[in-house]
Structure 1
């Protein structure tokens, strides 16, 4: 088998594995309306179930980077073990009362082990990079989106039986973990630069890297809050519009909305490699920011119009994620790259945790008509940062330069 064929086969298997394992991320959020109704859970507890996964992911990334876990063993083995551990934590959630401390800890543990899946999968994919880094990372991020969206689809077909949804995502995750063992590692595989706290300050003292990070932070302020709450927003909007079985249809549309970012991530990766990351990221940030402003006024409006807005928002809220990470990698010195990417991930997901957790309080205060308005601050901040980076001579280090 030729090297090209091995690369194609391995990347296809890796993407399928990522889709399967990353279904764990929003497995509880996908059935949030059912959990809220069955267990009388307030909005802040629903938000906490999503935030706990992100908090666990941040902690897991720092531990993994600090100990160089992906470099001490076959990364596929680490990936597989973490996927199975995530499936076990997700299954344990079924036997606990949602909203209790122990159930939140299971969501935290789920996020922590995902840190051994998503970044490691990206490392394996990058081992095959040859002038197509943006596309490869975009492909992996697209897989994350489909995986994150899949519990909503399972909820739609499972008639929103929350236990069935979690059982299905656990089984899919375990299968995805085993699948990765069939993936070949590319010729560019090398040990990751170690995380060094002493070098972490470079993320803020080096202006080009700082601006690329700021773009990512603006993106993260919006994306996970949108993903975590879009299902509840759609359910409430459909119900206000008089649609029968609103929760079930909201599950289907939440899947379509989040998954819509997957093909755009891959296309966006190609465009960013060719025309420049600053231009591509600024464009989609502007489009998603406009959608966040329109979501409120359209609440309870015609179902087809709300669905169209949701899909456009889903298609534009996430494709820039891969390009921010790639940009920081391109701007960093090789010996600092691991630390820079770890810092970017840790701070970005911490910001996302804040926005997700603040959402229910804001919704209680102003209602769904203004629910997503604060999220537009993220795209505005990101656009200003990336256009500032575009004007610097260092932007020529990025694929596509400043065009």
Structure 2
């Protein structure tokens, strides 16, 4: 049975809406240098603000998963509501920006509503693209990566754009993304009927189903490395650059992950998602291990290393989500993806706090190779899925 033709505008709309919605993620981080200058906040103030949003996202995804929000209600409506609510929270943060405690609350709430944007966008893609999902999610998560990296570009531009314009502009962009998705698309014709009960047994497949467990553990290993690498890249670049040059370099290094996502999605349609995810995970792990050799190397080798790391550290993410969506119970794809995101971001917070703390006393050349523990776990877990893909291609049983 062939997949019904998907209208051409669906994927561009999904990608645009995902980029717009997830731009809320680092809206405040991008303007923190201006706020620190105007309000006298210490440089350490950005840490709690970032963690506040991350904790909000973890709480939101956990609640969304346990209550099966993305599977009990129309995903387009969930996406619209959360995009508008997240935009409203950013406007609230703008209105109360001088009150640091209130800002922490607004960022926490923004994280909660992001739980209805990022995972729900993947759920919508999974409904439309029953085949070719790896390619679709490659573009979709590539948009997320580019949107997240854009915080560094915004920081580089902050000298020419006032911070209120940036914050309100991001809020308007997120709201527009939700409205665009809702009014220019419709539910997939072959979408599974929405469930009416909680999906406890389906959520348990994260551990009880061997295939789901393999992709989920691979994703957890990826999350140990990903966001910590993103946090540490500016510290690595600061050994050679400063100011706007540093921000632009960080944008290009982290934004290069969109190439890994989109290119990996294209290759996965011919080679298989498990193998593409494993190759990129292995390369990013080797980049971790190479840190002592290249951190003081010549400029071409140094920047080439960072670009390769930036491409591969994000490029495997869509394929982990593709594998999980394919193997999870069809009626609970949204909930399983959301629960996986919740646990994965919890792992990332532990990793970030650990490595940032250790970076005060341990050199980057000694510290960063330990990020390779995540890719090592992920590669071990993905072995089963890689073997199955090889067997399908060669015809061996």
Give yes or no for the alignment of 1:215 onto 2:218.
yes
How far did 1:22 drift?
Answer: 0.9
Write the distance in 1 (CA, Å) between the matches of 2:297 and 2:321: 37
Residue matched to 2:148: 148
How far did 1:221 drift?
Answer: 0.7
Residue matched to 1:85: 85
Deviation string 1:195-216 (CA, Å, 9 cap, x unpaired) is: 5334544322333322221111
The farther-off stretch of 265-274 and 297-306 is: 297-306
Structure 1 residues 302, 171: CA separation in 2 closer, same or farther (over 3 Å shift)?
A: farther
Give yes or no for the alignment of 1:125 onto 2:125.
yes
Instruction: Indicate conservation of the 8 Å contact 2:90/2:110, yes or no.
Output: yes
Structure 1 residues 105, 364: CA separation in 2 closer, same or farther (over 3 Å shift)?
A: same
TM-score under structure 2 normalisation?
0.85
Residues 249-398 of structure 1 mapped to structure 2, 5 A cutoff: 249-295=245-291, 298-299=294-295, 302-335=298-331, 337-391=333-387
Give yes or no for the alignment of 1:56 onto 2:53.
no
Structure 1 residues 132, 195: CA separation in 2 closer, same or farther (over 3 Å shift)?
A: farther
Write the distance in 2 (CA, Å) between the matches of 1:202 and 1:65: 13
Instruction: Indicate conservation of the 8 Å contact 1:92/1:106, yes or no.
Output: yes
Structure 1 residues 348, 359: CA separation in 2 closer, same or farther (over 3 Å shift)?
A: same
How far did 1:167 drift?
Answer: 3.3
Structure 1 residues 335, 147: CA separation in 2 closer, same or farther (over 3 Å shift)?
A: same
The farther-off stretch of 316-325 and 53-62 is: 53-62
Deviation string 1:243-300 (CA, Å, 9 cap, x unpaired) is: xxx2211221222222212232122123223222222111101111122233455446
Write the distance in 1 (CA, Å) between the matches of 2:262 and 2:30: 25
SS of the equivalent of 2:129 reads coil
Deviation string 1:126-168 (CA, Å, 9 cap, x unpaired) is: 2321421111122211111111122222222232865544333
Instruction: Indicate conservation of the 8 Å contact 1:278/1:402, yes or no.
Output: no
Aligned positions, number = 389
Question: 5+ residue gaps in structure 2?
Answer: none
Write the distance in 1 (CA, Å) between the matches of 2:318 and 2:393: 13
Superposition RMSD in Å:
3.2
